[in-house]
Structures are given as structure tokens and as C-alpha cells.
Amino acid sequence: MWDHRWRAPEWRALPVCALLALCHPSTAFAQSLTPDMLSPTQGGFAPRDQSLLRRTAQADDNSRGTPAPSRIGTIPTYGIPPASGASESGFDSLNRVRKKPKLYPGAPKPKFVGPGNPSPSTPRARIAAPVSPSVAGTLPGQPARRRLKLDDDPFANVGFHSGAFLTKAAVELWGGYDTNPGRMNQPKGSAFYRVAPELLIASDWKRHSLIADLRGSFTGYGTTFPPGIDGPSPVPTSINAPNFNGRINGRIDATRDTRINTELRMRVFTDNPGSPNIQAGLTKYPLATAIGGTAGIEHDFNRLQVSVAGLADRTTYQQSMLTDGTSTTNDDRNYNQFGGLARVSYDLMPGLKPFGEVKADTRLHDVKFDRSGYQRDSNGGYVKAGTTFEFSRLLTGEAAVGYSLRTYQDPRLSDMTGLLTSASLIWTASGLTTVRLDATSSIGETTLAGVSGVISRDYSLQVDHAFRRWLIGTAKVGTGTSDYDGTRFDKRYFVEGDLVYKLSRTFQLKAQVRHDWLDSSITGANSASTVVMLGIRVQR
């Protein structure tokens, strides 16, 4: 309750004080504002805004005729200095220990401030010099700013965003010399150039995913080969080789544990130089196109993951243009392939996920009998088991071994069976060295009379070492075999060395030296070749 009796005398004195102030003959000055008057003592708090004291004192000096100091050349300060309004106990916003109030000898210790227990008076804090705002980690006692993670590759392609998609584009321009581009027993060299564009588009969605990876190249040679004197030449007169490989992968996250996976793929290629499938007397390699797709579903049962998918592919070849001006059809090489794939994996432990995979397919050719009178339709598949690795990002990838089988409709063609190996492992030996192991196996088609198919196996080992972050050296060795149903057996070897000098995130200089050997069981099919190339890569 308000005590009217205690307040009444003060109210009656107010008119008298006001009249005396108006009749006083002296000039009234504004009362000077001292730091003591703005220093709150409740709870032991320090002054909140030192700039307010300076502006108030400056206004007081101006009222008395003292000119204000010039602000030319001084650094302006804005806002409230960091931790200016913090209490003097505990820690402030800059993680600095607040100073405890100094007590006079015999003074009681401050008690807890709460309802009904007012804060005891504490000595007025000394006004410190104003602290200008600064960046994190530069004020005394403030913890250092957390360092950003080092970029694994400071010269990598960062790309650019287009809406919800990240796009990375690059093109490589090469020039070099090949001592035996036709892979003939009697080598004939030629200079060449190569243009290889790349385009990668990846979605940046919280759910679902869409990735398009498109890569192509065109290799042009400056030398043409004569059509042959004694007969048709096994090497085309023009050996220019276009190539394209594109994939579009999509993932739909139906639920937390269920995903729908899709893929569209397209490949444009030619037969490899030296292959027995190449016709004699060609003017150029006929182009082959393989188009296909995959659709499947994947579900997680706790640690158990099960996925099934259906596959469909079609491979077609252009007509072969001959040196005499005629052409021949390749319809007997065109075929459709349909199949299914099932995979079961179990997350055994962190970094180790064993799996089993089964695939079955059928190949149906456009022409029932090929040029040699054989029925090439077949059924096949494989069974394999392996595991994926991800040990602290030091060893990643997967490796598997299995068994493959393919049976043919023509009883004159024997079944193709063999060991299946596949691997794609990356071992980060150190921060500067990376080792990669790749292994592939497949059963392919052939046009050789009486030969069912060809079993190809390839293995490669690659070591990348960073001499500097901008200078990368690569050493690569590999071997492979091609078994044409026992009638021909080819062994392949290669050694390769690469050097990449990264000028910036946009430009890179490249160099490559490679040597290939082909050792065949057929007389006169052996070959060797050395390739030297220099190029530049432009990426964005």
C-alpha cells in the first residue's frame, strides 16, 4: 500500500522548488555525467555501453563551449563491444573468466540474489577502455576460431549450381604419337589428336537422387593405311575412333528402408584394333551402339539388405563400308539382352559387408543364323560372392569371385564356362599415396566361325602419388587374357606413366607414356605399341 502520509510533505514542496529555480539569476548548466552515475551496482554488473559515456561527456563539454574533438582519421565503432554487459562471475560470451568483485577486509561475502534477498552493494568497477568489435579469435582470452577442414584437393573441379543441381564440366585436348595405332605385326606409326569432353550433373535434394555422368572422346589420326596389294588389309584405311559412355542413375526414397533404383545407359564404341572380329578391307570401323536400362527395388531389413532388378539392353552395329565401294550388313551381330539380378548383403560389422549375387539373362539376335551359319542365341548368367570394404576410409570398394556359364542354341557351339573375378578397391596408403586395384571378367560375342564366344579377364594396379598438392604422378601396370573357346588365346600387357601439373582449379597440364604388348597364339597376330601424349584439361 502506498503511504499517503509519508509522501504528502514531498508533494507540497515541489511548487516551491520550481519557483526558486525560475527566479534564480545565474545560468543553469546541465549536470555533468560521471561514470559513477551510470555504473549499475545491482548484481555486480559492469557498464553496458562505454560509447554512451563518451557521447554524454562530449555533449556536456559542447554545452560549456568546449569544442568537440575531431573525428577525422579515427576508426569508428558501432554497436556494443563483445561481452560488455556480462556479469563479473562465471564466463562471458567470449569464454573468458569473469573477474570476481574485490571485497574490503571484513566485508561480508555476497549472497545469492533472489526474491526477497537483494544483492549486496559491491565496489564500483573501474571503467575499462572501450573494446572495438573484432573477429572471432582475436580478443584476449577468446578461444581460437575452429579451423575449417582442409580441402582434400584444392585444385578439384568445384562446378556451378543450376537450381537444385550441381554441374561439373570439363574438356581435355590431347596431341601425341602412336608407333602402331593399327596394332599390326609390322608397325606403322602416326600422329594423332584427341578431344574428350565430360559432363557431370548431380541433384542436391534432401530426398531422392539423380546423377548424370556423360563422357566421350574422338581420336583422329593423321595417317591413312593403304587398302592392300595382295589382298584386303586387316586394318581399315581410316582408323579414327569415336567413343561415348553415358549413364543416368536415379534413386527414389519410397520409405526410410525402401529405395527404387533406376539406370539408363548408352555406349558408342568400335572394335578394338587387332581384334579378330574386324572384317578385312574396311574403309573405317563400323560404329556399335549399346542402349539399356535397369529398374529395381532395394529394402533394408535391419542389417540385412535385399535388392532385385530387371535389365534390358540392345546392341546394334552399322553397316561395314569396304574399300571397293560396297557395303556389308552386320545385322547378325545385333541382339537384345534381357535379364534379372538379385543381391543379398549383410552388414556384419562396421566397414565389412559381405554379399551374394545371382544374375540370369538371355540374348536374342535379330538374325537366326549368322554369316557363318551358326545360331548365336544363348542363355547365361553367373553366381558370385564377395564383400564391400570401408575401413576408416583407408580401404574402400568391393571384391568378389564366382562362376559364369553360357549355353548356346546351336548344338555345334560348346558351352562357355569359367571363373569370374571382379574387384574395385582403393587403398589410401598415406595422405600422399593411393593404390587402386581393378579386376573384370565377362563373356562376349564373336563372329569367328565355330567359336562360341570369348572370355575376357583384365587386371590392373594403379599407384597415385602427390609430390606436391599440384603435382601428381601415376604408375599403372596391367594384364589381361582373351580366350576364344580354345581356338585362339591372347595375352595382353601394358605399362603406363602419367604426370598431372595442376595450374589452378580450371587448368591442368597432362603427360602420358604407355606401352602395350599383345602375345597371341595365332601366328602373325602379335603386336607392340608405344604412345606418347601431351594434353591440357579445362574444367569448370
According to the model, what pLDDT value does residue 281 have?
87
Give the mean pLDDT of 472-498.
95
Check pLDDT > 70 for residue 536. Answer: yes
Instruction: Report, as an integer, the average pLDDT of 478-499.
Output: 95
Secondary structure string (H, E, C) spanning 84-128 = CCCECCCECCCCCECCCCCCCCCCCCCCCCECCECCCCCCCCCCC
pLDDT of residue 179 exceeding 60, the answer is yes
pLDDT in tens, 42-99: 444 444 455 555 555 555 555 555 666 676 767 666 666 666 665 666 666 666 666 6
Distance CA 99, CA 209 (A): 54
CA 191/CA 184 separation, integer angstroms: 16
pLDDT in tens, 241-281: 999 999 999 999 999 999 999 999 999 999 988 888 888 88
Q: Provide DSSP, 330-342.
A: -GGG-EEEEEEEE
pLDDT of residue 124: 46
> What's residue 41's pLDDT?
45
Q: For residue 219, what are the β-bridge partners?
A: 194, 241
Give the phi and the psi of residue 331 in degrees, each rounded to 5: -65, -25
Residue matched to cell numbers 599383345: 518
Q: Beta strands 454-468 and 433-444: pairing type?
A: antiparallel
CA–chain centroid gap for 162, Å, is 17
Residue 493 has pLDDT above 70, yes or no: yes
Average pLDDT rounded to a whole number, residues 296-309: 96
- What percent of the chain is predicted at pLDDT more than 70? 72
Place of cell 574387384: 423
Q: Tens of pLDDT along 143-164?
A: 666 776 767 778 888 899 988 9
Q: Which of 71-80, 331-340, 526-535 is least confident?
A: 71-80
Q: Could you read off the pLDDT of 394-436 as tens digits, one per residue?
A: 899 999 999 999 999 999 999 999 999 999 999 999 989 999 9
Taking only the tens place, the pLDDT of each residue in 358-374 is 999 999 999 999 999 99
C-alpha cell at 337: 539382352
Please say whether the beta carbons of 493 and 515 come within 8 A. no
pLDDT at 274: 86
Fold for 165-248+271-289+318-330+348-355+369-539, please state it.
Porin (2.40.160)
Task: State the residue for C-alpha cell 573501474.
Answer: 126
Instruction: Say if residues 276 and 285 touch (Cβ distance below 8 Å).
Output: no
pLDDT at 2: 46
Predicted pLDDT at 306:
97
pLDDT of 102 over the 70 cut: no
pLDDT in tens, 118-139: 454 444 444 444 444 445 455 5
CA distance 215 to 209: 20
**Closest listed residue to residue 239, CA positions, set 273, 205, 207:** 273
pLDDT of residue 361: 97
Cα within 13 Å of Cα(282), Cβ side: 24
Largest Cα separation within the chain, whole Å, is 136
Phi, psi of 76 (to 5 degrees): -70, 150
- The amino acid at residue 114 is G
The pLDDT of residue 116 is 47
Average pLDDT, the chain: 83
Q: Which of 465, 396, 403, 452 is nearest to 424 (CA)?
A: 396
The per-residue pLDDT for range 316-325, each reduced to its tens digit, is 999 999 988 8
The DSSP result for 229-280, as a single string, is: SSS--SS-S---EEEEEEEEEEEEE-SSSEEEEEEEEEEEE-PPTT-TTSPT
Distances (CA, A) of 209 to 158, 182, 202, 248, 306: 19, 42, 8, 10, 20
Instruction: Say if CB 416 and CB 405 are below 8 A apart.
Output: yes
Cβ distance 55 to 78 under 8 Å? no
Q: Where do the structural domains in the chain lie, given as residue ranges?
A: 165-248+271-289+318-330+348-355+369-539
Contact status, residue 401 vs residue 439, Cβ threshold 8 Å: no
